[in-house]
Amino acid sequence: MVVLVTGASGQLGQSIAFIASKYPEIQFIFASSNDLDITNEDRVTTFFDQNSIDYCINTAAYTAVDKAESESDKAYRINVLGSQYLAKACQKSGTTLLHISTDFVFDGTASVPYTETDTTNPIGIYGKTKLEGENEVTAHCDKHFIIRTSWVYSQFGNNFMKTMLRLALDRDALNVVNDQIGTPTNAVDLAETLLTIIQSNSTMYGIYNFSNEGVCSWYDFAKEIFRVNAISTTVNPIPTEAYPTPAKRPAYSVLDKTKIKTIFDINIKSWQESLLQTK
């Protein structure tokens, strides 16, 4: 079985590579943007023509939420056009596409966990382009799994956990927002789930939610990061308005995982348990 991983230099791509040896039956092709520029349709088409690919995991994305507000064209090329080109290539070659999306497709006004069928209403460029990317996948590739996830972190790439650990090296105290509520997702757990979907040979295509279990604020997350790493830096809770950013964030982005747990019979760790794995 051949599995292409786009965006291989990102944290999810690196997380898949980290566990790849556990799946000897899979031949992985790890392609960074230098190996495969998904915004170039001709290159995507040629790549698929030259390789026999059973599954494509698209982890390539423009994820700089704030910069997207001023770089909307770049975000559109990667998140929308790149998704379209991959979807068309997968459809032509009979490849199943696993496409990673985000909680930012929602506006964050809910008070109970979002299901896959809840109304989308992104409030920033990043969320809007990711939702358009979902629509391109749905429109152009019959065999697709769209996985919405949230607050992704790991020992790889750039993420909130690594930022907190870096800042704590030379600061005695940090201010972190405590009124944005969601669930951290360990990228290695997400990687394991993607490969579980592939190994299932399922044809239950569509949209799925995945994060770790539990609910917290960014303030709670930061405090736990420091606790498990025995760091004494003080964390002060602040409201969102005290930390203005170019892009608005959803105030509530907890995802309901009932569908993915039921269909693929997976047990999901709590975010606290999973955080211990990245110490």
Please write the tens of the pLDDT for every residue from 140-156: 999 999 999 999 999 99
Rounded to two decimals, what is the model's pTM?
A: 0.97
Domains in the chain: boundaries: 2-158+185-213+253-269
CA 173 – CA 18 distance, rounded (Å): 33
pLDDT tens digit at each of 279 positions of the chain: 999 999 999 999 999 999 999 999 999 999 999 999 999 999 999 999 999 999 999 999 999 999 999 999 999 999 999 999 999 999 999 999 999 999 999 999 999 999 999 999 999 999 999 999 999 999 999 999 999 999 999 999 999 999 999 999 999 999 999 999 999 999 999 999 999 999 999 999 999 999 999 999 999 999 999 999 999 999 999 999 999 999 999 999 999 999 999 999 999 999 999 999 886
Q: What residues are annotated to the active site? A: 126
pLDDT for res 164:
97
pLDDT for res 211:
98
pLDDT for res 177:
97
State the first-to-last Cα distance of the chain, in angstroms, to the nearest integer: 33
pLDDT for res 53:
98
Among 128, 4, 89, residue whose Cα is nearest residue 54: 4
Percentage of the chain exceeding pLDDT 70: 100
Amino acid identity for residue 46 in this structure? T
Fold observed for domain 2-158+185-213+253-269: Rossmann fold (3.40.50)
Tokens of 206: 């569509």
pLDDT for res 278:
86
